[in-house]
């Protein structure tokens, strides 16, 4: 959803208010239930009391949401920009940094988005992106693709499959079903 257009339509100005109102508007319209409200766990993960799992992301003027009835899910949308390179040591492991040394800005953004989506899916506060979330090497494609990833937490490993799409100067990454 384009947040700039939504804000104009509903005469909203505050960025945070726009994001919250747009998310609620989408949820109510997609699920055809005007009584729904968004609640948040202590970890910050949003949820609905009707049992539907949701994940929400916004970047600049865009809002993205993911819905599921059966599994923990995560989504992230990011504008491709060089700011991501300034924080790469905070979210990439040494092995990932080595794998990405000659990579495009889009690929760095996919790694960040994948880790954000995975973090949202796991719902565990305090997970360290560079030490507990790992992305397996993949070949970048402008047409999008699949990513395999792993969360290591409490002496266990959980594999995840994610998908990414290139949407102009934005990258959208979202989780698929999880396996033990």
- Per-residue model confidence as pLDDT tens digits over 100-129: 999 999 999 999 999 999 999 988 888 999
For residue 84, count other CB atoms closer than 10 A to its CB: 20
Does the pLDDT of residue 35 top 80, yes or no?
yes
- Give the whole-angstrom CA distance, residue 10 versus residue 50: 27
- Give the whole-angstrom CA distance, residue 76 versus residue 135: 15
Spatial contact of 85 and 121, defined as CB atoms under 8 Å apart = no
Of the ranges 75-89, 105-119, 164-178, which one carries the lowest mean pLDDT score?
A: 164-178
| 173, 84: one domain | yes
Does the pLDDT of residue 137 top 70, yes or no?
yes
- Give the whole-angstrom CA distance, residue 157 versus residue 173: 21
| 31, 82: one domain | no
Helix axes of 15-30 and 3-10: crossing angle, nearest 10 degrees: 90
- Which residue among 53, 68, 83 closes a domain? 68
The pTM of this model reads: 0.92
| 82, 166: one domain | yes
- Give the whole-angstrom CA distance, residue 52 versus residue 31: 9
pLDDT band for position 70 (cuts 50, 70, 90): confident
| 81, 138: one domain | yes
| 109, 125: one domain | yes
Domain of residue 31, residue span: 3-68
Residue entry with tokens 């560079």: 130
Number of domains, the chain: 2
Spatial contact of 65 and 23, defined as CB atoms under 8 Å apart = yes
| 50, 95: one domain | no
What CATH number does the domain containing 79 carry? 3.90.470.20
| Strands ordered across the beta sheet of 170-179 | 75-79, 170-179, 156-167, 145-153, 133-135
What are 95's two structure tokens?
């092995």
What are residue 29's phi and psi, to 5 degrees?
-80, -40
Largest Cα–Cα separation, the chain: 50
Spatial contact of 62 and 48, defined as CB atoms under 8 Å apart = no
């Amino acid at each position: 959803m384009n947040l700039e257009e939504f804000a104009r339509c509903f005469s909203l100005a505050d960025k945070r208010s726009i994001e919250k109102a747009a998310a609620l508007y989408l949820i109510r319209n997609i699920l055809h239930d005007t009584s729904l409200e968004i609640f948040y766990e202590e970890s910050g993960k949003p949820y609905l009391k009707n049992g539907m799992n949701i994940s929400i992301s916004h970047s600049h003027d865009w809002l993205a949401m993911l819905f599921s009835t059966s599994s923990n899910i995560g989504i992230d949308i990011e504008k491709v920009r060089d700011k991501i390179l300034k924080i790469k040591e905070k979210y990439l492991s040494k092995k990932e940094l080595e794998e990405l040394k000659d990579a495009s800005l889009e690929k760095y953004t996919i790694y960040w988005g994948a880790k954000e989506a995975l973090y949202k899916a796991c719902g565990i506060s305090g997970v360290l992106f560079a030490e507990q979330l790992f992305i397996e090497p993949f070949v970048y494609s402008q047409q999008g693709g699949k990513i395999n990833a792993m969360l290591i937490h409490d002496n266990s490993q959980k594999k995840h499959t994610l998908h990414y799409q290139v949407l102009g100067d934005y990258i959208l990454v979202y989780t698929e079903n999880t396996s033990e």
